[in-house]
Amino acid sequence: MKEVILIKLGEIALKGLNRRSFEDVLIKNIKQKIKSLGRFNIEIAQSTISVEPLDADIDMDDVADRIGHVFGISAYSRACAVEKDMDAITSCAVEYLRDKLSFAESFKVEAKRSDKKFPLKSPEISAEIGGVILENYPNLHVDVHNPEITVTVEIRDTMAFVRANAEKGAGGMPVGTSGRAAVLISGGIDSPVAAYMMAKRGLVLEGIHFASPPYTSERAEQKVCDLMEQVSKYSGRMIMITVPFTKIQEKIHNECPEELFTIIMRRLMMKISQRIAQKDDCHALITGESLGQVASQTLYAMVCTDSACQMPVFRPLIGMDKTDIVDISRKIGTFDISIQPYEDCCTVFTPKHPRTRPVLQYVIEAEEKAGFDELIEEAMNNLKITKIGF
Ligand code: ATP
Ligand code: MG
């Protein structure tokens, strides 16, 4: 009995002539994700990728768990590969699915016969296997509309596969099929979710974090690395750039009108991020902003922020409620890290009454009066690079 994992493609199954290049990236990502677990044979045929372990001691629970984190997959299932012989297939269904069939009440058998030369037709295959399962499991009855377990038998070119219900995949597009973008990452709940969502659409990520020691601690920086490590389980490896932001924040505090502190700080973050992104071949910035969430995320504030850079700014959370964002952060495992209590540079020198309707012209005048060019150059010359997910 040989166990494999069968993977159904997500959206890329709908691609046209360039579909092959999407499939190649997906297979590369799957290989990368599981290679530390052992040797595998990975093949694609008839829109299904099969992952076959070549070493005896491979833990298939681990393999399935990692495959569940790869974008571009709509569903995956562990399956037993058997020769295309009805006796072999039937006894495989009875034995291989014992754990599941023993504890269920209802089931059905679904046969898919892509090898049209196979002697039995799909309904005949289902009926025969279903009969033997009923004989072996008196706890079960057949329910064709709403079964607890669907036993699927796929008769393919070289082998047959027997499996139970598929698991939902991570969805989205394979990372690496949409280009490269830089995500502005704080220690909060929102930005790691934004990073996850854009990686899910196929972007390769690079992280940018602004740190203001000694106002922000080393532990706060570590927290951001921990968050990105968690995101990298989905997005794959990345680099994170830490920008020294202390002098810039002090200058804002000392030389700009208090009600504009936050908006000027955010504009300078965007300016510096754009410089880093251009240097590193990233073509968009990503933030965790959500309309109206705080003073710097009103429409007027975002108009001011956006005008500080020319690059497109992706804000995947823009229309989401905090509760929905929290749900995703719990699902992807970043929530518990995000709620650790370490200061972010955004909470340093916060004004009592930030402008919710900043006027761009005044903001630019205040910025020009203070003059940040030299400090931006200095920050650019002192970037720190951390490898994530390696
Ligand atoms: P988050 O939960 O992501 O911290 P937030 O709701 O606290 O978001 P802000 O603090 O206003 O919002 O930040 C808005 C966005 O700006 C963040 O989602 C993030 O993309 C970016 N950002 C904020 N602080 C930093 C930082 N220290 N370094 C890099 N990006 C930051
Ligand atoms: Mg924040």
The pLDDT, as a whole number, for residue 58 is: 95
In the reported structure, the alpha carbon of residue 266 is separated from the centroid of ligand 1 by a whole-number distance in angstroms of 9
Both tokens assigned to 18 = 């360039």
pTM: 0.93
Instruction: Report DSSP state, residue 313.
Output: E
Q: Which ligand approaches the C-alpha of residue 269 most closely?
A: 1
Residue 230 has pLDDT above 80, yes or no: yes
Mutate to test the pocket of ligand 1, among 184, 269, 271, 329 (most ligand atoms within 8 A of CB): 184
Query: Which DSSP string corresponds to 153-185?
Result: EEE-SS-EEEE-PPEEEEESB-TTSS-EEEEE-
Residue 148 has pLDDT above 90, yes or no: yes
Please choose, from the candidates 225, 159, 238, the residue with its C-alpha nearest in 3D space to the C-alpha of residue 198.
Answer: 238
The pLDDT, as a whole number, for residue 246 is: 96
The pLDDT, as a whole number, for residue 161 is: 96
Between CA 104 and CA 102 the distance in angstroms is 6
Question: Is residue 369 a contact partner of residue 360, using CB atoms and an 8 Å limit?
Answer: no
Between CA 51 and CA 64 the distance in angstroms is 10
Q: Which ligand approaches the C-alpha of residue 286 most closely?
A: 1
Residue 339 has pLDDT above 90, yes or no: yes
Instruction: Report DSSP state, residue 258.
Output: G
Between CA 293 and CA 280 the distance in angstroms is 30
Residue 348 has pLDDT above 90, yes or no: no
Mean pLDDT within 217-231? 95
Does 289 contact ligand 1 (Cβ within 6 A)? yes
Among protein residues, the one whose CA lies closest to atom 26 of ligand 1 = 186
Residue 234 has pLDDT above 90, yes or no: yes
Mutate to test the pocket of ligand 1, among 346, 347, 350 (most ligand atoms within 8 A of CB): 346
Among protein residues, the one whose CA lies closest to atom 1 of ligand 1 = 188
